[in-house]
């Protein structure tokens, strides 16, 4: 893992930030992307402290920018003269409500972030992964693309259907990409968490009283580090071993 270089989007908080810390423990170099420059810089400082070295670089910007992943790739090349071999697409946003009562004024932003933004990321990183795959000993030097989806992207919820639809799209895109890139020795993994305790719900405008009640009902719920540990584990496996679709929930969460 000390020889690996990762790009993590959505790295200033939540699952992205926790993943950066877990990879830093293994000495992984990384480019961290997020929209909040101050939070991103603080994450990088903490990551370097965790890894006891100069491991992290930051690229501030929005993944809805078609070129943002290219900028992150360029940062890896400029800093280490190497291409990244691990990509974690953690950036995303939520939206409470259904097709009938969610805020339609936010639909474009939601789709731009969770679908188009993901497509931009996957297109850019896939190209440079394919470049690296030719003649590579992929068993000892794996290439990984990891997408953070949601359990609601496979299990239809009548209560959060618009956000869920974007995660259904993420599921379809990731599975199609896996089938395309797997024969070229590139692992594409979708992780679908259930209820995770981060700032995601509050920043998206969910009813926090409802969330706290549901948390008590199905808790203890997952924490961001629980997902980060899974990412660190799967990226450490030999390249011929692929955990391609991972559903992870709090034990007491039956649905979705």
Query: Distance between CA atoms of 5 and 82, rounded to whole angstroms?
Result: 8
Instruction: Give me the residues of the chain with pLDDT under 50, please.
Output: none
Query: Distance between CA atoms of 86 and 56, rounded to whole angstroms?
Result: 14
Query: Distance between CA atoms of 105 and 151, rounded to whole angstroms?
Result: 25
Walk me through the domains of the chain, giving residue ranges and CATH numbers. Answer: 5-248 (3.40.50.720)
Give the pLDDT score at 26: 94
Give the pLDDT score at 193: 97
Give the pLDDT score at 199: 83
3-class SS letters over the chain: CCCCEEEEECCCCHHHHHHHHHHHHCCCEEEEEECCHHHHHHHHHHHHHHHCCCCEEEEECCCCCCCHHHHHHHHHHHHHCCCCCEEEECCCCCCCCCCCCCCHHHHHHHHHHHHHHHHHHHHHHHHHHHHHHCCCCCCCCCEEEEEECCHHHCCCCCCCHHHHHHHHHHHHHHHHHHHHHHHHCEEEEEEEECCEECCHHHHHCCCHHHHHHHHHHHCCCEEHHHHHHHHHHHHCCCCCCCCCEEEECCCCCCCC
Instruction: Output the CA torsion 143→82→18→225 (10° steps).
Output: 30
Give the pLDDT score at 252: 97
pTM above 0.85, yes or no: yes
Cβ within 8 Å of residue 221, ≥6 positions away: 194, 195, 196, 197, 215, 250, 253
Give the pLDDT score at 205: 86
Give the pLDDT score at 1: 63
């Amino acid at each position: 893992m000390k020889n690996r270089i990762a790009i993590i989007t959505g790295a200033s908080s939540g699952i992205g930030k926790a993943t950066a810390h877990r990879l830093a423990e293994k000495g992984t170099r990384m480019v961290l992307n997020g929209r909040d420059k101050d939070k991103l810089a603080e994450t990088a400082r903490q990551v370097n402290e965790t890894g006891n070295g100069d491991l992290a670089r930051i690229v501030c910007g929005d993944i809805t920018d078609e070129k943002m992943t290219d900028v992150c790739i360029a940062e890896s090349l400029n800093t280490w003269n190497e291409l990244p071999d691990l990509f974690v697409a953690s950036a995303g946003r939520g939206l409470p409500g259904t097709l009938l009562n969610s805020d339609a004024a936010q639909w474009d932003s939601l789709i731009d972030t969770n679908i188009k933004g993901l497509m931009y990321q996957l297109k850019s990183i896939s190209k440079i992964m394919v470049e690296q795959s030719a003649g590579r000993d992929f068993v000892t030097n794996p290439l990984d693309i990891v997408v953070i989806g949601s359990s609601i992207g496979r299990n239809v919820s009548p209560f959060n259907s618009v956000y869920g639809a974007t995660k259904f799209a993420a599921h379809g895109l990731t599975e199609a990409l896996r089938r395309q890139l797997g024969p070229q020795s590139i692992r594409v993994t979708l992780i679908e968490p259930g209820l995770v305790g981060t700032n995601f719900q509050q920043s998206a405008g969910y009813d926090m009283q409802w969330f706290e009640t549901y948390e008590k009902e199905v808790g203890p719920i997952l924490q961001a580090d629980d997902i980060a540990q899974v990412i660190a584990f799967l990226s450490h496996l030999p390249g011929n071993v692929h955990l391609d679709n991972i559903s992870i929930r709090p034990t007491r969460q039956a649905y979705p």
